[in-house]
Amino acid sequence: MTKIVVDINIVFSALLNTNSRIGQILINGENHFDFYSPAYVRFEILKHKEKIKSIGKLSDDEFLEAYSLILKNITILNHSIIPTKNYKNAELLCHDVDIDDTIFVAVSDFTKGLLWTGDLKLQNVLIKKGYENIITTEDLFQMFLTKERRK
């Protein structure tokens, strides 16, 4: 199965609209993809819970349901299992974009997975630096549809 590292902006998008392409890939893609994210994802979701609820017009119950649906298929990795060499490589790639992206690139390196991010600036910088382990939502959705048809 294809390993996919899910960036926080993808998780936020899915929480805001579970019926979107992003939401459907995360909710229904467990037979086709292995999803991973660092533990930092949980912290960021809870830190921005009220904002997510407000933007998505979600009640407490709706937020909890979306949270459960989205995270149930994502393996959350403790940061301490990521080797220092992965962090250092990721830091070199991310230092001039957003240092908060470092953990996602490090997890991508560690799992040998594709980084799924909606951050175009990050994508462009990584590609310019020769990092090609990135997948767009559109490409992932097409993979998802192809795999669903084969079921």
Give the CATH number, domain containing residue 116. 3.40.50.1010
Number of domains in the chain: 1
Q: Residue 100: what pLDDT?
A: 85
- pLDDT for position 151: 66
Q: Is residue 150 part of a domain?
A: no
Tell me which residue range forms the domain holding 111.
2-144
**Alpha carbon of residue 81 to chain centroid:** 18
> Does any domain span residue 151?
no
pTM passes above 0.85:
yes
Residue 38: what pLDDT?
95
| Beta-strand runs (E) in 23-141 | 33-38, 74-77, 114-116, 134-135
